[in-house]
Every structure is written in structure tokens, then in C-alpha cells.
Amino acid sequence: MVNKLIRHVGFALGVLAVAASPIASAQQWPTKPVTFVSPFPPGGSVDPLARLFAAKLSEALGQQFIVENRTGASGSIGTGYVAKAPADGYTFVFVFDTHATNPYLLPKMTYDTIKDLTPVMLVGTAPMAFATSPSKPYKTFTDYVNAAKAKPDTLSYGSVGSGSLGHLAMTLLQKDGSFKVVHVPYKGGGPMSIDIMGSQIDGGIGSIAVLGNHIRSGKMRALAVTSETRAPSLPDVPTMAEQGFKGFSAEAWWAVYAPAGTPKAIIDKLNAEMVKITKQPDVYKQLTETQGMNLKASTPEALAAFTQSEMDRWSKVIKENNIKPD
């Protein structure tokens, strides 16, 4: 009888230990280095954002957060790597707005955007800017449009890739404004910025996080921003709506995801720590003023809803305009 009782007690304790282990492991997490994958090259907006949070989280949680660049295919290579990684809380990905358009452009994509990834946090959104080299003759976006109308399909503009938000926004603007320009896709904001400043292209569209410093330094001239109202970080730059495109708005965004199945307790812990970091004065200033972000620091659930709404909106533009990948 005593032996039987001991066996029952031992079994019950074992069940409790198994049930409690996910909570215990989440409380202890991280117990080894964590990898943040940046699916875009240095020089854009995603890589420095990942490195900023990695440094701050290393300080806050006492474990090293490492940024690993796995670039290509509009961010889908690095994101696909994370989607297939162990769901143990030690691999995450920082994505850009191409995350919502890739499913409709890349038929050989190796993962399902919704099923294979778990949302962590929408970091923020930001207007895009359309900019040129100061050596170009265009002082406003209207000037650029008029020049394009005078010589259709001769002026060029760059974006961070076919199907990127910049490309889709310009597709809508060309349709609404009845002008045609040549699209030059790049593999990131860094290479595009170099060619804008070097006058290799007539203009380029990218997030303020990428172009803002170049604009403020005078190395680029901003012709317009894509938000409904003027961007606080570029108050002198008019919106597209102010230049004849009534109601137009399109904003870039950045978010963090984990492999599907990552314990919710770990997701919630990382989310809470990242929210704290966005409130640090130096981080808040860098993201809002330097990178021109509208900070969101959202819940995982809010990011899930946002992702679906962006996919719904831009998939229509892709299909209606028969947009193909690079």
C-alpha cells in the first residue's frame, strides 16, 4: 500500500513538473544567446533597428542578442529561415513591409506568412519619402510628374524591390496621375540611396528611416511624403495629397516575428521588454526623430490583425496591376 501511494505521489509530482516547465523556462529565458535575423543588408532600415534592440535586450536580459544577416528575395530568405527554425524562443526575425506582399509575388516562397510565424510586435510605421539628387531639376513631385508626362517611360525611380510598398505606391500614383516612369528595383535601401545621391536614377522612394538623414544633410532633395499629413521629422516636405493626389496614403512598417509554436510566455516576455526599450529616451528619440517612425510597440494580437489588413490591401494592387517579382 505504501509503495503504491509513493508511486501515485511520484506520478502526480511528475505531471505537475511537466505542466510547470514551460512557465519556468519562460521565466528563465533566455539562458543562451538569441539570434535576431535581419533579412535585409546593412544600410537600410531593418538592420540598424535589429541591432538597436539587440544591444538593449542584451543589457536588459543578461544574454547576448546577435544580429545575423540573411538577405535576398525581398526579405523572404531570412524570414523563411526563421519560419523553419526551432520554436524555442532563440530565433526571431525583424521584417519590413515587404512581408505583407511577398506571398503574392514569390510563388516559390518556402513558408506560409500566417501559419508558420508568430507575431511578436509591430515596432512602428513611417511615411515614405520620394527624393532626388539636388543636381536634378525637380523641386516638387509635381515637377517630376510633369517631366514624366512630357517624356513617358524615360524618367526612372528606385525602390527596395518589385512588390515593395514603394513600388506599389508609385504604381497607384502613376495610375492616378496618368504618368509613366521606369522602375529600378534594388536589394535594399542602402544601394538605392547611393544611386539617388549619385544621380544614377531620377528619384527614389523609401522610408524616412532610410532617406531622412540624407535629406536633412542636403545630400537628397525630398519632393513629397506618402502620409496623410506632413511628417514631423520632415515638416517642410509636402504630402502627395497636397500635390494633387487627394486621399493618398501609404506607410512603411517594421515588425518582429518568431517561428510558429514559440511559447506564448516567451513571446509575451520579449514583447514586454521591447515595449520598455521603446520608452527609453535615447531609443524613443532615435526612432521618432532620426528614423521618423510613428511608434506602435503593439501587442502580438494587434500585429496579427495589422498583418492581415496589409496583406488584404496590397494583394489587390498586385493582382489588379499584374505586378511581378524582380
Which pLDDT does position 205 carry in this prediction?
97
Which pLDDT does position 23 carry in this prediction?
55
Q: Which domains does the chain have, with CATH numbers?
A: 21-125+253-320 (3.40.190.150), 127-251 (3.40.190.10)
pLDDT below 50 — which residues of the chain? Answer: 2, 5-6, 9-13, 15-20
Which pLDDT does position 214 carry in this prediction?
95
Burial of 309 (0-12, 13-18, 19+ CB in 10 A): exposed
Q: List the one residue out of 92, 102, 97 whose CA is nearest residue 50.
A: 92
Q: List the one residue out of 67, 64, 66 whose CA is nearest residue 31.
A: 64
Written as nine digits, the cell of 86 is: 526551432
Which pLDDT does position 326 carry in this prediction?
66
SS (H, E, C) the chain: CHHHHHHHHHHHHHHHHHHHHHHHHHHHCCCCCEEEEECCCCCCCHHHHHHHHHHHHHHHHCCCEEEEECCCHHHHHHHHHHHCCCCCCCEEEEECHHHHCHHHCCCCCCCCCCCCEEEEEEEEEEEEEEEECCCCCCCCHHHHHHHHHHCCCCCEEEECCCCCHHHHHHHHHHHHHCCCCEEEECCCHHHHHHHHHCCCCCCEEEEHHHHHHHHHCCCCEEEEECCCCCCCCCCCCCECHHHCCCCCCCEEEEEEEEECCCCHHHHHHHHHHHHHHHCCHHHHHHHHHHCCCEECCCCHHHHHHHHHHHHHHHHHHHHHCCCCCC
Question: Between the CA of residue 133 and those of 23, 47, 198, 201, 309, what are the distances in Å?
Answer: 54, 24, 7, 9, 34
CA dist 148 and 41 (Å) reads: 31
Q: List the one residue out of 138, 143, 140, 149 whose CA is nearest residue 178.
A: 149
Q: What is the pLDDT of residues 216-249, one digit of tens each?
A: 999 999 999 999 899 988 999 999 999 999 999 9
Burial of 224 (0-12, 13-18, 19+ CB in 10 A): buried
Given a contact cutoff of 8 angstroms between Cβ atoms, the answer to whether 52 and 40 are in contact is no
Pairing of the two strands 65-69 and 156-159: unpaired
Model confidence, pTM = 0.81
Which pLDDT does position 6 carry in this prediction?
46
